[in-house]
Structures are given as C-alpha cells and as structure tokens.
Structure 1
Amino acid sequence: MKNFWSYDIDDALKELKSGRDGLTSQEAAERIETYGKNVFDEKKASSNFMIFLSQFKSPITLILIFAAILSIFLKDYSDGFIILIIILISSLLSYLHESKAKDAVKKLLSSVSVTSSVLRDGSFKELDNADLTLGDIIKVKTGDMIPADCLLIESNSLTTDESSLTGETFPVEKSCGKLDASTGLSARKNSLWMGTHLISGSGKALIVNLAKDTEFGKITNSLSQRDSDTDFEKGIKNFGNLILHVTTLLIGLIFLFNIVLNKSFLESFMFALALSVGLTPQMLPAIISVNLSQGAKKMSEQGVIVKKLNSIENFGSMTVMCSDKTGTITQGKVKLHSSLNFAGENSEKLRKFAGLNSYFQEGYANPIDEAILSDKSEDFSAYKKLFEIPYSFENKLLSVIVKTNDDFSNKNLMVTKGAFESILKICKTYEGSDGSIGPIDDVVSSLKNSFNKYSSQGYRVLGLSYKFLDDSCDPEKEAAQDMIFKGFLLFIDPLKEDIRDVVSHMNKLGVALKMITGDNQEIAKNIGSQIGLNPEKILLGEDLSSYSISQLNKKVLDIDIFAEISPNQKEKIIRSYKEAGEIVGYMGDGINDAPAIKVADVGISVDTAADTAKDAASIVLLQNSLTVLLSGIKEGRRTFINTLKYIFVATSANFGNMFSMAGASLFLKFLPLLPKQILLTNLLTDFPSLQIASDSVDEDWLKNPVKWDMKFIKRFMVVFGIISSLFDYVTFFVLIYIFKAKESYFQTGWMLESVISAMVVMLIVRTARPIFKSKPSKKLILAIVCVSILLVGIIYSPINSYLGLVDLPIKVLLAMFLISFVYALVAEALKKEFYKRNSFSRK
C-alpha cells in the first residue's frame, strides 16, 4: 500500500481485504502464494570467478596485458612477466575488496527478529516472520523488532527507536490516527517500520507492506546493486582510452610507412608492436598501487582504515562533503542544556526538581531521564518515594511524589514534568525569580513566546511544575492539578567540540560541507548556523520529493542543509550532486545511511556504526571525528597528484620517443632502436617512476580539489612530447652527421640520451614551480642516479653485445649528456610558460 499512513484503519482493512479478526490460515496461504513470502528477493550473486574477471575490463589493463604478451612473444620474458605480475596483484587487491561487499545485505537482514505474534484463525500465534503476509494483524510489545511496515490499530504507551531509519536521537511516540499523505517519514506517528524496535508500550498493527516493499527493503535493494565507478576510476578508463587511440593511430601509420618504404614486413611489424609497448605506461598500475598503499598506511597511523584504496584519490578530488547530523556533526546523545525559570534565568532548584522526578520514576529507561541524571550527580537517598503517576501518552506527563528531608522541611513534594502545553494546562500559578507565587494567567503569553523561541533555536523543550502536599493527603489519590509552573528544561544533541574548526578548514581546502538530517527544519537550521552553514539555504524532504534527479542536480548546488529527509532521499541527494559534476563524500553511521554511503565517491563511516554502514563504506574512522578527514583530504590530493606526475612524465616522454622513432624509421635504413632496446629503455625509465609515490607535493597543489582533466593531459603530452622529440632529432643529427654513427653506434647513443633526458625531465615536470624551489624525495634522486650508473655500466660491459649495444667514445658520451642538459633547461623554461597558460581543472 502506498501512503498507507493516510488511511484510517477501516479503509486500510478494506483495501487489504482483511478484518479486525485477522486472516485465516487458508487466506494467508493464498496470499503468500500470490505475493510471496515476507523475505527479500535473493538475486543471483556473481560468482567469485566472474568478480575476479571483471577486474580486467579497464582499457589500460587490456593494453598492458597485450603489451605483456607481446614482450613474451619477443622473448623479453622478464619485462612481460613483470607487467603481468603487476596487473595480477592490482586486480587481486580490487577483487578482495569487492567480494567483501557481498556480505553487506546479509548483515543487514540479520538485524531483524525471526518470529512475531500474529492473529490467525481468531487467535494469536508465534510464526516465522517469513510467513507473514499482507493484511495480517500482529501484536507488538517492548523490545520487539518490527517485521514489516505496519499501520497501528491499537496503541498503549507505545514508543519506538527509529534512529536506524531516520537518524532521530529521541524516542518516537506512536498513536493511532490518520495523517496527510505528504507527511514525512519521521512524522508518521501511526506507522511502524521494519527494522526498528519498540522501546516501551504495546499495541496491534496491520501489515501493509512486505519486506521488499518496505523502507528497510529499499535500503537492502540499493546495497545489493554493484558500485558505480568513482570519479577516479572513470578517469583511469578515460586515460586508457586516450592511450589506446593514440597507440592505434601511431602504430598503424608507422607500420604502413615502413611497408611503403619496402622494409621487411616481419621486421616492420615487430618494430610497430614494440613501439606500442613503449607508448604504454606499463607502471601505471604499480604506481597507483604504491601510491595508494603508502596513503593507506599514513592514514591508518591516524586512526583511519581504508577499505577501498581508490577512495584515497577520490579524497583528493572531493568538492562536496555530505554528512549525517546525529553522531557525526553532533555527539548523538541527549544532553540537558539548561534549566530556566519563567524569566529565562538558570535555576538550580528547577534542576534539582527534575533530578528527583527522573531518579524516582520507574517507567522505561529513556534518554531524557538519563540526560537529567548525568548532568549533575546528586544524592537523593535521603528522600523517600511515596507514589508515581506513570507517563501517559494522552496527557504526556510523568509525576512522582516524594517525602523530602530538611531542605524542604520534610514536606511531601509532587514534581511533574512533560510536554510544555500539557504542563501549562495543569498549572494554576507560577514561581517568580524571587520565589514569589503569582497567577499563571499573568505570564501565559510570555511563557508561550519563550517556548516558541527555545524550540526555534533547536532545543527539545519540556516543562516542569510542582506543589507541596499536606501529610493528610493520600498520594495515591493525588492528581496532577493546581500545580506551580517552575520552568523549562532545554535538551539538545550537542555539537562535537571540533566541528566548527573542521568546517572552516574544509572550506579553505575547497570542500563544501552539506548537512543531511531527518530532524525537523528548526533543529537543522539551528545546528547548521552554529557550524557556519546558511540556515536560509535549506531544502525539506517533502519539497525534495517533487524534484526529478535532473531538476535536483541544479537545485542542490545552492543548498547547505537538507532537513526532514527520508533514507531513500539521502541517496537521491548524493546522486544529484554527482550528476551536477561534484565529487561527493558522505559520512554516516546508521542503517539508513548505508545507501548514501555506498553511492558516494567517498563513503565514510565510524567503527561504532551499524555493520551495514561500515560494510558499505570505503573509509572507516576508528575515532568518531571529522578532524582526521582533513588529513585524509590532503593525503588524497598528494596521492592523486603523484599519480598524475607519473602520467605527465610517461606520456610526454613516451609520446616524444615514439614520435621520434616513427620519423627516424622513415629516413634510416635500419631501425632506430631494436625491439629489445625499446623494452630495456622502458624498463630503465620506469624504475625511477616508481619512486614518485614517495615524492613531496607542492603546497599550491594541495589547496584545491584536483580531478582528471583529459584536455590538460593531452596538451601536456603534446607540448612536452614535441619538445622531447625535437631534441631527439638533434641527437640524430649529432650522431649521424658529426659522429658518422652506424646502426649499433646510433642505437646505443640514442638509447643513452633517451634514458638520461627522460629522467632529467622527470625532475622538472614533477612540479609546476622552478626545480630548485621544489625538493624531490631522496628515493627519487637515488633511483635516478642508480639507473644512470647502471645504464653506463651496461653500455661499457661485456653484455652490451647481447642487447645490440656498443662501447661509446667518451666524446659521444659527453655530447649525449650535454644534449640532455640543454633539453632540461628548455623544458624548465617551457614549463613556466605552460603553467601560466594552463592549470589543472579544479572545482
């Protein structure tokens, strides 16, 4: 039934063809046959093998597998197997994380009780929840989990804990009745929700929606869906497609030109394929893995567990951080903020009266009384309880009568607390600031104004009254009437101590915090304004429902606070931000937060959260604090930028070299480099690239979100690739026309210049600042020095003949180093101009 809370009970029974006597066993069996059991649809899960295979679908991964097979075919076994091992390890890590996600729904379902008391054939029976059906009437009592979405038929002092669905801290009172169809989930007082539980009272309810159609079911359905690609994963795919297109075009042209020039078909084919290996950034999976592993290690030292490694780099590009209010922005527990008399002044006597009331009441344990008693520890053992008038859902009052001690002349004292309007009705007088007593009518208007003011400030407000009784009065016959209004009790879910600083720092880092809560708009506005959000930029759940995703993705950009939001709407908000082009993080700790956590680019939960929320998250905080997210954002940007550094180096150097070889192959009678020399060059230049993961990052690059910008990467690749290629042609000219180099001589000289210049320029393009103002890591410097020494050692060692290399005269060696040095100077000057005209695309 849709909008079942807007039906009165008789109409709902008629709609479901049921009655107040429930169903017969025959009717129930027929309905189970028609509608199915009260269980969630079990979709056929992908096998572990298929999940593992899905890790290899990325274009960049497919190119690398091809490159590895090609290397093995060319008998360069070491290079081929290294590539395959890197891909295998990277894919295995991804597979392990994805396979764990399959447990999320199972843990969610395990939180629901297994049996319920059902009215069948005229009497109540304990039946398995799976055997419940539409139109069944169930009986519920304190502690019961609700097995389906229901409409209340009878209610006796019934309160529920709906925090798992709505995020509300306070218990929810339930009563029978008919509500408007537009009523928000948290305000549907006549409804019980699957997955929530009863705190107090008892009642009967009509089952109107079975498992898969419940609010709870919507959450399980979204959790069972496969994760969509995050922004970082999309960037990797786009980059892979770019490399695939460039590689295909270059290889086709080179092969075609070599055939036209009557070069050997097989030789030309092998050369073209070797070029494809040279153009492919083979170390990209390893670079990403090393970067992410180091980032995860640093974050774990700060109490942050990274479950999904790619989420670290998504931190770097995050532009919007959405957060649940309760337990994330606030402490998630009720606190007595103040006890105020009629004039708004603090009253210790009022606080003491409240403590007496809470100490001696023997109804169900609730957060309100716990907050009052934990506020100040007073010894009430000298007092004696005489009688209690339990909390009533009709008048919303709770009274206790106690025998006082000397502080109140051993009088009998009746203290009543409850809803403000209810307290006002039973009061005849009020107590002034000086202890004087006056007629309540004199201050009624002022009291109501104070109540409205406190409520609008986000407080949960209760009233408190008292009166002294004669010893001759019978406490058991005493009623809550002719009371003296004592004052207001103001409760709040307090902010976390560091939240204001966190929001301020996030804004400086270019990340906008958005608050999403199921609480009412007044509380949401008050909390939002305290942490620096604009309370006027608010959107309510009932208004949000009228927007489609395409309409909402424009609206959300101008919203700071989302209030009175249902669980499925949280996910809708996250999707809208993503469609608007934002990179979104979401932090929550309840079952109701799991869908939003799952769909976000960066899903965050805490160690004390519901299992379902933790399973859906990619980041789990061991401390329930947003402060560590600040370092996570910076670490994400550092990791992302170091990954981009490798891409800048690899694509520009590789593109330049491939362009040079393509051109050289047209006018040389021999291949510029042999296939095995190309692979060796690739291997030598890739080794220092692995150390980029440890490199320092300029502070300027950490100030704003960074994201994939394919236009920037293309421009960088072309500009620096062309400069690299120009110096390659200078090298060709020097080797051929000055040193009269022949085949092996030429190949050795160019391979030396190619490797040295690639590593020198690595130091330059790793930063947008002048090289002497950005200190590279010691590991990177050491790797470059070691490779340079190794290369010279190979050239002048006996093994050079196996690689088609020869000893070079010292003057040739010096000339190659000189060309590399000049290339570095030109690249440094060009870099300055390039960054003046181009920058990373940022939000």
Structure 2
Amino acid sequence: MSEEKKKQLNQPFYTEEIDAVLEKMETTTEGLSTNEVNKRLDDYGHNQLDEGKKKSWLSKFGDQFKDFMIIVLLVAAVLSFIMGDQVEAIMIIVVVMIMAVFGVIQEAKAEEAIEALKDMSTPNANVRRDNTTKVIKSNELVPGDIVLLEAGDVIPADMRLIEAASLKIEEAALTGESVPVEKNIAVLDQEDIGIGDRINMAYMNSNVTYGRGLGVITGTGMNTEVGKIANMLAQADETNTPLKENLNKLGKVLSIVIIGICVIMFAVGMLRGGHDWIDMLLTSVSLAVAAIPEGLPAIVTIILALGTQKMAKRNALVRKLPAVETLGSTDIICSDKTGTLTLNQMTVEEVFSNNETIEANEEIPLDNQTLKIMTFCNDTKISDDNTLIGDPTETALVKFGMDHGFDVVDELRNAPRVAEIPFDSDRKLMTTVHQLADGKFLIAVKGAPDELLKRCSFFDVHGDIKPMTKEQQELILTNNTNMAKQALRVLAMAYQISESIPEDMASESVERELIFSGLIGMIDPERKEAADAVKVAKEAGIRPVMITGDHRDTAEAIAVRLGIISEGQHEAVITGGELNEMSDDELAKRIEQYSVYARVSPEHKVRIVKAWQKDGKVVAMTGDGVNDAPALKTADIGIGMGITGTEVSKGASDMVLADDNFSTIVIAVEEGRKVFSNIQKTVQYLLAANLGEVLTLFIATMVGWDTLLPVHLLWINVVTDTFPAIALGLEPVEQGIMKLKPRGRSSDLFSGGVLSSIVYQGILEAGITLGVYMFAITYPVHSGYEAIHADALTMSYATLGLIQLFHAFNVKSVRESIFKVGLFKNKTFNYAVLLSFVLLAVTIVIPGFNDIFKVAHLDAYQWGIVFGASIAIIPIVEIVKWVQRKTVYK
C-alpha cells in the first residue's frame, strides 16, 4: 500500500460529519460497485494481518550461541582440546548443545501472538454492494465498504458509524472497559481522545451486544487499531531478563579472571625459570579451564525447570524459563483491572427502594416493585439451564433477581410482554408493557436516573403511592450521588399501571406521569482475594499499578477498595488524555507519582512499562485483552490470563495464570525469589569450589608442589559440581523471603554478600587443602619419598573433594545458620552429597581405580586427617556468618 493510501486511512474520522467521511472514502450508503471493490483490493490489500517474518529453526538454534556465557564455554572446550583433555572438551560441548536445543524448544511458541490475532477475525460480514446486501468473507472487505451490524456480530474492520439504533458494542478486549459502549453517530470535537471515548466508531474484533447499526469502513488489515497492535508486537524488543543479564555479567567477570590467571601464571613461571614456555602455557590454560563452572548453565536451566513444575501445580504456567527468576526480582506489577483485579462481570451491589438502601447480600422481598421492574424491563434471554445471554448490564439485573429467589421465567410467563419502546441513547430509557393477571397492564421503565426522574410524578414506598416532592427528589438524588461516588453504575426504575395497552407507543405518550420505584447500583466487582494479594505484594516491597480503559472515577474507586491507593489520593490517578500531554522524559520523571491509569490505549500501556523500566525497575505486566499484548511483550515479564485471556495476550506473555487469580502472581513471586536464591547458592558453591581449585594449583605450582593432577580436577568437577549443585536448587523457601525488598535490576548473582563469601570461602578451601598436603609431606606415616608424595597427593585430592561436599551445607543459606535453615531438611540434597562422596571414595578405596587416578590407599589415620580438615569448613563459615549477622546484616 502506498504512503498516500495509508495517510488517507489514518485520519480522525470521528471528528468529521458523515457526509464528509463518505466523500473522503469515495463511497455512498448504497455501497461500492464490484469493479471498485476489485480495484481497492489491489490498492489496499486484503483485510487481514501481516504474518511478519518468522525465524527458521536453524536461525533460532544459532541465536542460542550469542550468549556470552556460552561463548566462554566454547572457548574453554577449544582450549581443552588443545591441551589434549578430550573428555573435558566433549563434556562442555554436550552441555552447550543441550542448552541450545532447550532454548530453541522454549522459543518455538514465543511468536504466536500475531497468529492469534488473525484467528480472532470474524469469517463473514453483511455488506451493502451494488445497492444490495451480501454476505462476504471479512478478508475481502475494503475501505469504503458499507457494513450492516446487529447484535451478536463481530466487527470485521474499523468503521465510522453512519446509523446507530440502540447500538452497544463491547470493547473490553481492545480498551479494557468492562461495560459495553453505547454508540451514536454524533461528531466528536476533540481529535486526541482514547479509543474508549470514540463513541461514533466501531473497531475490528469488538462485539455488538445490543441494537443494530450501519458503518463505512475506514481501515482494514494492518491499518486498523488491532493492526497497529500487531505491528507493535512485531516491533517490540525482547527484554533481557535480569537472569540473562546476570549470567552475561558472570561470563564477563570470569573471562577477565581467566585471562588474568593465564597471564600471571605464565609470567611468574617464566620469571622463576626452570620451566619450558610450552609447559607453562599448558599449565596456565589448565588453570583457566578449571576456573570455568561449565555445568552452571545446565544447572541453572534445571533449577528453572524444577521451578516451573512447582509453579504449574499452583496454577502459574511458565512459557519461558527465565520468567521464573524474573518474577522474584519484580519491583512493579502493572495489572489490567478488568478480569484480573475484577471479575469482568457486572454485578448489582446496592439497591435503593422504598426509601431504604439494601446491600446485595441482604434479603429483598419477592414482591418488591423495583425487583420486578429490573427483571421485566430487560432483554436478557434465559436458556433451559438458566444461562443468561444478553447485555452484561441487563444480565446482572436478572441474575440479582434469580439469586434472591425471584422466579423470572415464571413471573414473565404470568405477565408476558405485549409491547415495548426499545432503549434509545438520546432519551436513555427503555420501556416494556406487560399484561397482568387482573387484566391491567404494567408499564415498566428503566434508564438514567436524571432522565427518568424528570418523568416521575409519584413515588412508591411499600405500595403507598405519593406525589413526588422536592424533599423526595433530593433524597433520591443524594442516594444516586452516593452510589456514583462508589463508582457504581446507577440505573433508575419506575412504573405505571394502565387499564389498557397504550395506543400511541411513543416515548412522550407512555413515559410520563411515572411512579418512581428505586435505584440500582452496579459495578464490575474486585476479586475477593485480590485485596489480600495487593497487601502481600506491598509487604514484599512490590508496587501494584492498575491500568484500565474504564473511567477515572471507576478506576479510582476500585483502586481504593483494593488498597492500591488510599482514600482521597486523587493525585495518584491519571488518564490517557493527560498522558498524551506528557513527553516520555516527563513521564519517566513523574512515574513514581502514579498508581492508577484510566482511559488508556495500548500505546499508553507500553509507555508506562518503559517509563518504569527507565526508572530502573523490573516490571511485570498482567493482562487478558488484545490491547494488553504489546505491553506484555515489552515488560520484563508478561503475565497472561488463562481463562478470560485472549490467545493474543497468552501468546505475548511469559507466564499464564491458569486460574486468572491475581493472588497466584504473589505465589509465583515467592517461587521466583526462591529460585533466584537457590541459583545464588549454586553460583556461590560452584565458584567458591572452582576458586579453591585454582588457588590450590596456582600456589602449589608457584612453590613447586605437585598437589593435584588434571584427572583429579576433572573427577572432582564431575562429582562435586553436579549432584550437590542441582540439589541446592531444591532447597525449600527461606523464612521471611517475602518480607525482603525486591532485588531490582541493579542487583546480580554476586549481591547480598555472595561475592565476598565466594572469595573468602575459596581461599579457605585452598588453604585447608594445601595445609593437608604440607602436613602429609612434613609428618609422613610411611617411609620413602615416593610413598610420602603419593600419600600427600591422595590426601590433598580427597580433602579438596570432601571439603566441597561439606561446604555445600554452608551455602544452604548465604546469611542464616545452617542449623536454623535445617541441616538435613532437603532429603534430595542429602542423597546427592552421599552419592558424590561414594563416587569420590571409589577412586581411592577400590583397587584398579588407584592406577587410573594415580592415587594411593589411605589408612584410618590419614582418612581421619582428611575428614577432620574437610569438615572444619562448616564451623569456620558458621562463625563468619554469625559475625556478619551481628555487624554487616544487623
């Protein structure tokens, strides 16, 4: 499509008269001719969304190797091959390949959003062409087509309405507003208004719930509002998760350390003399390879996968593995109101009748006149299984009656409808006429309180009909105002008893001299558990932010009821119109001020998420509608709704709530915090162990000792770096984890005392291992140098392996004592340590393995020294933790 054609469609048609719109679209109410349609199909294309570019499996596989940690591992594999250590190299390559395949599988479902948008399109549309009405496929529609609308239709494209008879369109999936919008054809004055306020427009994929209409298509395919969302989805950048950033940072730190080790080792060795430069280079490289925790990426993946399984059991379905950990670092939860914090179901909350206020949970007499009017003056269809079909507002009235024991079907059978005046958006009233058993007729009227009250000459209090007075009007208006302040949608009920069916069924003749009966206050109520979830989130230092397409007053009232903001905190609420007046920089500066956003569009949601991210926050976005999809994809973690959510929102999200329950997010946050804590423990354990190995070899080489052989390092890494490290990922959640503030984006895997613990614990491991070696060669048990060296070598090998297994108990908590956390609480961990010990001991105690590993048998005395020295790390670290708790963490 040419830029000129795009410009023709991207105009604020809602600000123009119908004739002007028809002229611009070069059409008439008789419709386009077949020849003109074919021409426009060539010019504008079909009414469908672009598929976008799809990555091939090979491309996705290649993308996995762009991760910095993976690059470091591949370099390590190459160096291992150069050194002749094929076993180590093959192990690293296997780990990398498994990681890459796993990543491709996870990405396979990541780009389903646009496909889901396409599937939502209505298959057929009623179109006026060549002055006749035809049913055609919606993808054949073109700008300028005249489309007929009636209740039950899905809007096939964006259009300017040119006729609207009691037309109501439900736009929740696009705007987030739970109540169907009453449409009309009046010209709007403002250009810069949100989608939800464009009452003379109808938008693709919204639903007609009531009435009928006629519209001229002003946008098709990618030039519709849904098309804009699809374009935003295609262009949205994938946000790097905190975990990916942490692992990349870890990879860079390790690279610097590795290069430093190689350079220092080579330089010192050459300066000391006595070594061939090739031998020194190989020794330096072997140390560098020893510093790399090659199993870490795979172990992290396993920990995340185990986390997803636990979350799935609690109704949080994770689509992308890093999302598990990201939840734990969340600072902000931007939540869509409708269907997430609320039920997305209009509900009667309060009734004012007989000059009394009745709460929804209170009893109401079955002969209450207001109860009868709200269910009689109603177009809701009741199926055989009592399913209610119709406008959400009207179904809410019928449901209220049925819930309070009013047999609507039986009552209507005894008082059938014989005439009606349909709802009209101008007079804002609806009237039905029912024949009563005594031969008289009930005229039931419902509508806007201000309009209906003008037509009431009397009022009813328990059947006592009295003339309307000024005092009574003030009482009614006061109750109306009180309901409105609670953000309730208020409808008034009135009636009249007639001796016959009115001959003239005009509003002026029938809707007059009415008897006021009562007021009904309705709202889309908050979920019962949502307020508790908001409270827990706040205690965890997480800020809930509500984003909705509803009006400001409704949004503020719900936010107060949920505890998101306090009563009277008006400055914390902002509308989409006010957002439009702000630049991105200004919004970023003022973002901390706002907790509630009303009347927003999809573009606003993305701006809000990005503003919080610019403020350094980790942002989670929940949502269920099409309009939420771009923000879900932009956020650090997008959370879709499994029951009420569209396939679009699910496809764009990282996690889906199977129960649509906001409180499930809090459960998932706790699991995410536990996962990160366990990953931190794993990193601390592995890097402290690797540092201990490197320092042991480095110092021994510098002083001329042969403490460890390459095969020893390899076996220790295989045995101690695998099973205990994975088992640490199964550690139960630590007490008080939900009382801590979020880590935020600035924290990393080394924060919270982990880095200092790695350093001193690595030094401690190396010191104890070298101490055992020194003791063995200084105070030999056997005579002869060869025997002494073999014993010392074996004892240092056994000590380095065992000290890492005992140290695994230390890292069950970074700060707390292991006796408080539970020394043997994690059974899987206990078995993992036992298995690793057996695999280590086998190489020493079982004949045949001695030759392979070049070690000697140890007697009880030597084993005693090894065990005593190895287990010493537990009390030493416990003492350090105690000092830290009394000083640093106090």
Fold shared by both chains (TM-score > 0.5): yes
- Whole-Å separation in 2 of the counterparts to 1:278 and 1:167: 55
Shift of 1:492: 1.4
Q: Does residue 807 of structure 1 match 2:833?
A: no
Choose which of 803, 811, 835 in structure 2 pairs with 1:786. Answer: 835
Is the CA contact 2:162–2:213 (under 8 Å) kept in the aligned structure 1?
Answer: yes
**Map of 1:62 onto structure 2:** 71
**Map of 1:383 onto structure 2:** 415
CA 1:367–1:252 in structure 2 vs 1: closer, same or farther (change >3 Å)?
A: same
AA in 1 matched with 2:264: L
Choose which of 493, 514, 523 in structure 1 pairs with 2:554. Answer: 523
CA 1:318–1:129 in structure 2 vs 1: closer, same or farther (change >3 Å)?
A: same
Is the CA contact 1:31–1:133 (under 8 Å) kept in the aligned structure 2?
Answer: yes
Q: Does residue 97 of structure 1 match 2:106?
A: yes
**Map of 1:666 onto structure 2:** 702
Larger mean CA deviation between 829-838 and 227-236 belongs to 829-838
CA 1:146–1:527 in structure 2 vs 1: closer, same or farther (change >3 Å)?
A: same
Choose which of 319, 339, 342 in structure 2 pairs with 1:327. Answer: 339
Q: Deviations over 1:767-790 (max 9, x none)?
A: 111222221422223332333343
- Whole-Å separation in 2 of the counterparts to 1:780 and 1:677: 23
CA 1:697–1:415 in structure 2 vs 1: closer, same or farther (change >3 Å)?
A: closer
Shift of 1:441: 4.8
Shift of 1:399: 0.9
Choose which of 693, 698, 702 in structure 1 pairs with 2:734. Answer: 698
**Map of 2:810 onto structure 1:** 764
Correspondence list, 1:264-413, <5 A = 264-341=276-353, 343-346=355-358, 348-358=368-378, 365-377=390-402, 378=407, 379-380=410-411, 381-405=413-437, 411-413=440-442
AA in 1 matched with 2:709: L
Is the CA contact 1:151–1:191 (under 8 Å) kept in the aligned structure 2?
Answer: yes
Shift of 1:530: 0.8
- Whole-Å separation in 2 of the counterparts to 1:664 and 1:538: 66
Shift of 1:56: 2.4
**Map of 1:240 onto structure 2:** 251
Shift of 1:627: 2.8
CA 1:446–1:8 in structure 2 vs 1: closer, same or farther (change >3 Å)?
A: farther
TM-score by length of 1: 0.92
Correspondence list, 1:114-125, <5 A = 114-118=123-127
Q: Which runs of 5+ in 1 are unaligned?
A: none
Number of matched pairs: 836
Is the CA contact 1:59–1:244 (under 8 Å) kept in the aligned structure 2?
Answer: no
Q: Does residue 544 of structure 1 match 2:579?
A: yes
CA 1:366–1:122 in structure 2 vs 1: closer, same or farther (change >3 Å)?
A: closer
**Map of 2:725 onto structure 1:** 689
Choose which of 648, 651, 657 in structure 2 pairs with 1:615. Answer: 651
CA 1:449–1:222 in structure 2 vs 1: closer, same or farther (change >3 Å)?
A: same
- Whole-Å separation in 2 of the counterparts to 1:164 and 1:733: 73
AA in 2 matched with 1:470: E
Q: Which runs of 5+ in 2 are unaligned?
A: 1-9, 359-363, 383-387
Q: Deviations over 1:24-76 (max 9, x none)?
A: 66666665555554433343211111112212221112222333455566565
Choose which of 582, 588, 611 in structure 2 pairs with 1:553. Answer: 588
AA in 1 matched with 2:394: D
CA 1:320–1:836 in structure 2 vs 1: closer, same or farther (change >3 Å)?
A: farther
Q: Does residue 185 of structure 1 match 2:195?
A: yes
- Whole-Å separation in 2 of the counterparts to 1:383 and 1:100: 55
Shift of 1:494: 1.8
Q: 3-state SS of the aligned residue for 1:102?
A: coil
Correspondence list, 1:442-591, <5 A = 442-471=471-500, 474=503, 476=505, 479-534=510-565, 535-536=569-570, 537-591=572-626
CA 1:154–1:473 in structure 2 vs 1: closer, same or farther (change >3 Å)?
A: closer
**Map of 1:198 onto structure 2:** 208
Shift of 1:826: 2.6
- Whole-Å separation in 2 of the counterparts to 1:667 and 1:417: 96
- Whole-Å separation in 1 of the counterparts to 2:431 and 2:105: 58
Q: 3-state SS of the aligned residue for 1:709?
A: coil
Choose which of 188, 213, 226 in structure 2 pairs with 1:216. Answer: 226
Is the CA contact 1:517–1:564 (under 8 Å) kept in the aligned structure 2?
Answer: yes
Is the CA contact 1:757–1:824 (under 8 Å) kept in the aligned structure 2?
Answer: no
- Whole-Å separation in 2 of the counterparts to 1:579 and 1:500: 28
Q: 3-state SS of the aligned residue for 1:358?
A: coil
Larger mean CA deviation between 339-348 and 799-808 belongs to 339-348
Choose which of 663, 670, 684 in structure 2 pairs with 1:627. Answer: 663
Q: Does residue 592 of structure 1 match 2:633?
A: no
Q: Deviations over 1:599-627 (max 9, x none)?
A: 22332223222112222222222323223
AA in 2 matched with 1:560: S
**Map of 1:717 onto structure 2:** 758
- Whole-Å separation in 1 of the counterparts to 2:64 and 2:287: 26
AA in 2 matched with 1:271: T
Q: 3-state SS of the aligned residue for 1:661?
A: helix
- Whole-Å separation in 2 of the counterparts to 1:5 and 1:372: 33
Q: 3-state SS of the aligned residue for 1:182?
A: coil
Q: Deviations over 1:807-828 (max 9, x none)?
A: 3455444333333344433322
- Whole-Å separation in 2 of the counterparts to 1:621 and 1:31: 43
Q: Does residue 753 of structure 1 match 2:799?
A: yes
**Map of 1:254 onto structure 2:** 265
Cα RMSD (Å): 3.0
Shift of 1:271: 2.5
**Map of 1:677 onto structure 2:** 712
- Whole-Å separation in 2 of the counterparts to 1:549 and 1:444: 48
Q: 3-state SS of the aligned residue for 1:201?
A: strand
Shift of 1:520: 0.5
Larger mean CA deviation between 274-283 and 776-785 belongs to 776-785
Larger mean CA deviation between 508-517 and 522-531 belongs to 508-517
CA 1:562–1:752 in structure 2 vs 1: closer, same or farther (change >3 Å)?
A: same
CA 1:700–1:364 in structure 2 vs 1: closer, same or farther (change >3 Å)?
A: closer
Is the CA contact 1:288–1:643 (under 8 Å) kept in the aligned structure 2?
Answer: yes
CA 1:357–1:595 in structure 2 vs 1: closer, same or farther (change >3 Å)?
A: same
- Whole-Å separation in 2 of the counterparts to 1:792 and 1:327: 59
- Whole-Å separation in 1 of the counterparts to 2:278 and 2:496: 105
Q: 3-state SS of the aligned residue for 1:391?
A: strand
TM-score by length of 2: 0.87
- Whole-Å separation in 2 of the counterparts to 1:519 and 1:71: 62
- Whole-Å separation in 2 of the counterparts to 1:5 and 1:18: 17
Is the CA contact 1:153–1:205 (under 8 Å) kept in the aligned structure 2?
Answer: yes
- Whole-Å separation in 1 of the counterparts to 2:743 and 2:851: 47
AA in 1 matched with 2:530: I
Is the CA contact 1:152–1:191 (under 8 Å) kept in the aligned structure 2?
Answer: yes
Shift of 1:565: 1.4
Shift of 1:418: 1.3
Q: 3-state SS of the aligned residue for 1:170?
A: coil
- Whole-Å separation in 2 of the counterparts to 1:465 and 1:75: 93
Shift of 1:279: 1.1
Task: Provide the identity percentage.
Answer: 26
- Whole-Å separation in 1 of the counterparts to 2:631 and 2:794: 57
Shift of 1:108: 1.2
CA 1:176–1:86 in structure 2 vs 1: closer, same or farther (change >3 Å)?
A: same
AA in 1 matched with 2:400: D
**Map of 1:653 onto structure 2:** 689
- Whole-Å separation in 2 of the counterparts to 1:39 and 1:259: 70
Is the CA contact 1:342–1:447 (under 8 Å) kept in the aligned structure 2?
Answer: no
Is the CA contact 1:539–1:559 (under 8 Å) kept in the aligned structure 2?
Answer: yes
Is the CA contact 2:456–2:468 (under 8 Å) kept in the aligned structure 1?
Answer: no
